[in-house]
Structure 1
Amino acid sequence: MIVDDEPRTRTGLSRMLEAWNGGRYAIRAAADGREALGILERERVRLLITDIKMPEISGLHLADTLKAMPEEERPAIILISGYAEFEFAQRAIQLGVVDYLLKPIGREKLISAVERALAQAEERARIGRMEKVVDRELLQTGDTGRPLSDSVREALEYIDENLDQPFTMRDAATRVHLNPSYFSVLFKDEMGMTFSEYVTRRRLQRAKDMLLRTKLTVAEIAERVGYQSAKHFAKMFRQYEGSSPGDYRNHSS
C-alpha cells in the first residue's frame, strides 16, 4: 500500500511497482493516514510505503500505530520524504522501518527497497507461523537431564515415520523389541508424557503446519496425520488447541 497526500507521487510509485510487480501483488493507494488505517482494517497488507509528512496522521504516527499489531501480521514499512531530516531518520530506525527514501525516488532505489522489505515481511511471517505451530509441551519432552535410551530414540523415529498411519503403542513396542507394559513405563519416564499424548501432540503439530502452509481440506489433513475420522481429528484438535481446525486456519493465516 502506498500512502501519500500528493496524487502525482501516489500515481508515480504505483506505476513503477505495477510494472515491476507482474501481477504478484495487489497495489493499494491511500491519500492520507486515516484512509490507510481503513484499508488495513479490511485487508492484509504486507508492505506499507508512506510519506512522513501528511495532514492529521503522519507517516511516523501511522508506523507507530502499526506496532500494536501482532508481529507476524505487521507490514514491513518504507518511509518516504522530501526532506533529509535527521530527526525523521532517527525515529524511523526506532520504529523498525526497513528503509527511508528521499523524493524524487528513482526506480532502482524503490525496487531495491521494496524487495528487501518484502523479504523481511516474509521472514517475519515464517517465524510467526513457526511460533503458532510449535507445541511447548513437546519442546520440554525428554528434558530429564539424562540421555534417551536407544529404544525410546528408535520409537520416536518410528512415530515420525508413521504419523500418516494409524498405529498403537504395541506396534511401537514391537518395533523396538520390548514388552508393551515395560515400554509404556520407559517412554513416560524418559519423555515426561505418555506415549498416547506424545503421538497426539506430534500429529496435531504436523496438522497445524499443514493448515497454515497448504490449502488441503480438514478431512485431507486428518487423513495425512493418521486419523481415520475427520470428526475424531476435529475433536482432538479442539481439545488440545481450544478451537476447531477451520477456526485455527482462519485466525492464524
Structure 2
Amino acid sequence: MREQIKILVVEDEDLTRNGVVKALLNYFGSEIIVDTAENGIEALDKFEEKEINLLITDIKMPEMDGISLLEILNQSNKECMTIVLTGHAEFEYAQKSIAYGVFDYILKPVNPKVLYESVQKAITKFSELKKMKTNLKLVEQHAGTLHPIHTSKNRIIQYITEYVMENLDKQLTLKEISELVHMNPNYLSGLFKAETGELFSEFILKIRLYKAKELLAQTDMKIYEVAEAVGYQTSRYFNRIFQEHEQKTPNEFRKLFRNN
C-alpha cells in the first residue's frame, strides 16, 4: 500500500478552506490525510506536531500571512511541496513566494478540477523527489560515502585522475599511464602512493566499482554493458570482482534500488 500523502490547508476563510478539503477528499480519498489551519501561526504549530508533505496556503491571512509562513519554513529547512492560493488582486504580491520554491499557484475562487490537477502533479513530484533521496542514501550506503576521485594538488595526479574517469572502458595499466605522463612506472607508482595513500591498482579498482554502482543504480543498462563501460571484458569476471568486494552480485545490488 502506498504511503498516504499528508496535506495541510491554510486558509482563513471558512468557506474556501472547507471547500478545498472537501474537493481533495472527493478526488483522492484514502490516499491523503488532510489537516487545516486558519493562519500562518497555526500552520507552524502543525509543522512542529507532524510531518507535512504538501502545503496549500492562502497569501493574505490575519496574524501571519502566507509569505511570512513560507519564509520561516524555508529558514527552518522544512521540506514539503507548496501550492499557493491567491486572488487576482494579490497575484503580483503572491509571486514573491517564488523565492521559497512554490510548486504552483491557484487563483481563487478555487476550481476543483484545477485544484485536483495541481495537487496530483505536486504529489507525483514529491514522490519522485523522495525516491531520489532514498536512492542517494543507498548509493552512499552501498557505494561508499567518499567519492573515489582524489583531490591532490599535484597536477600529474590530477591529470591521471581525469584521464582515468574519461577512459574507464579501457584497460588502464600502470605502464600505459606512465608512458602517457612520460615517467618511469616505478617512480609513478611511488608518487601515486605518496599523494593518494593507495596503490594505483587499488584506485583503478575502486573507481571502476564506484562507476559500476552508479550505472546499476541509475540506468537500465544490461550487466554486460555495465561491465564493458567500466573496463571489464567479460560480465563473468565483472560479476566475480563485484561480488568479491560488495558481498552481492550486480543484479542483487540493482534490485536493492528497485525495491526501494
Q: Distance in 1 between matches of 2:111 and 2:196?
A: 58
Change (3 A) 1:149 1:84: closer
* TM-score, L = length of structure 1: 0.60
Pick from 122, 127, 133: which aligns with 2:128? 122
Query: Structure 1: any 5+ residue segments left out of the alignment?
Result: 15-28, 31-48, 51-78
* TM-score, L = length of structure 2: 0.59
Q: Distance in 2 between matches of 1:128 and 1:13?
A: 28
Q: Distance in 2 between matches of 1:149 and 1:191?
A: 10
Q: Distance in 2 between matches of 1:112 and 1:152?
A: 51
Q: Which residue of 1 aligns with 2:253?
A: 248
Change (3 A) 1:131 1:11: closer
Q: Which residue of 1 aligns with 2:82?
A: none
Q: Which residue of 2 aligns with 1:109?
A: 115
Task: Tell me the alpha carbon deviations over residues 21-48 of structure 1, each in whole angstroms, 9 at most, x when there is no partner.
Answer: xxxxxxxx86xxxxxxxxxxxxxxxxxx
Q: Which residue of 2 aligns with 1:98?
A: 53
Q: Which residue of 2 aligns with 1:139?
A: 147
Pick from 237, 240, 251: which aligns with 2:242? 237
1:163 alignment partner, SS class: coil
Deviation, 1:247, is 0.4
**More displaced stretch, 233-242 vs 119-128:** 119-128
Task: Tell me the alpha carbon deviations over residues 49-99 of structure 1, each in whole angstroms, 9 at most, x when there is no partner.
Answer: 32xxxxxxxxxxxxxxxxxxxxxxxxxxxx325x65898984466443222
> Matches of residues 76-91 of structure 1 in structure 2 within 5 Å?
79-80=33-34, 90-91=45-46
Change (3 A) 1:228 1:140: closer
**More displaced stretch, 179-188 vs 130-139:** 130-139
Structure 2 residue identity aligned to 1:222: A
Q: Which has the larger radius of gyration?
A: 2
Change (3 A) 1:95 1:172: farther
1:139 alignment partner, SS class: coil
Q: Which residue of 1 aligns with 2:156?
A: 151
- Quote the RMSD (CA, aligned, Å): 3.4
Q: Distance in 1 between matches of 2:179 and 2:238?
A: 26
Deviation, 1:181, is 0.6
Instruction: Answer yes or no: is 1:197 the counterpart of 2:202.
Output: yes
Structure 1 residue identity aligned to 2:163: Y
**Residues 141 and 192 in structure 1, CA contact (< 8 A), matched pair in contact too:** no
Deviation, 1:2, is 9.0
Q: Distance in 1 between matches of 2:145 and 2:197?
A: 9
Provide the identity percentage: 25
Deviation, 1:165, is 1.6
2:195 alignment partner, SS class: helix
Task: Tell me the alpha carbon deviations over residues 139-160 of structure 1, each in whole angstroms, 9 at most, x when there is no partner.
Answer: 37646xxx52111111111101
Deviation, 1:243, is 0.8
Instruction: Answer yes or no: is 1:219 the counterpart of 2:224.
Output: yes
Q: Distance in 1 between matches of 2:146 and 2:37?
A: 51
Instruction: Answer yes or no: is 1:228 the counterpart of 2:233.
Output: yes
Task: Tell me the alpha carbon deviations over residues 107-155 of structure 1, each in whole angstroms, 9 at most, x when there is no partner.
Answer: 3223323323332332232233334335447537646xxx521111111
Q: Distance in 2 between matches of 1:105 and 1:98?
A: 22
- Aligned residue pairs, count: 185
Change (3 A) 1:191 1:157: same
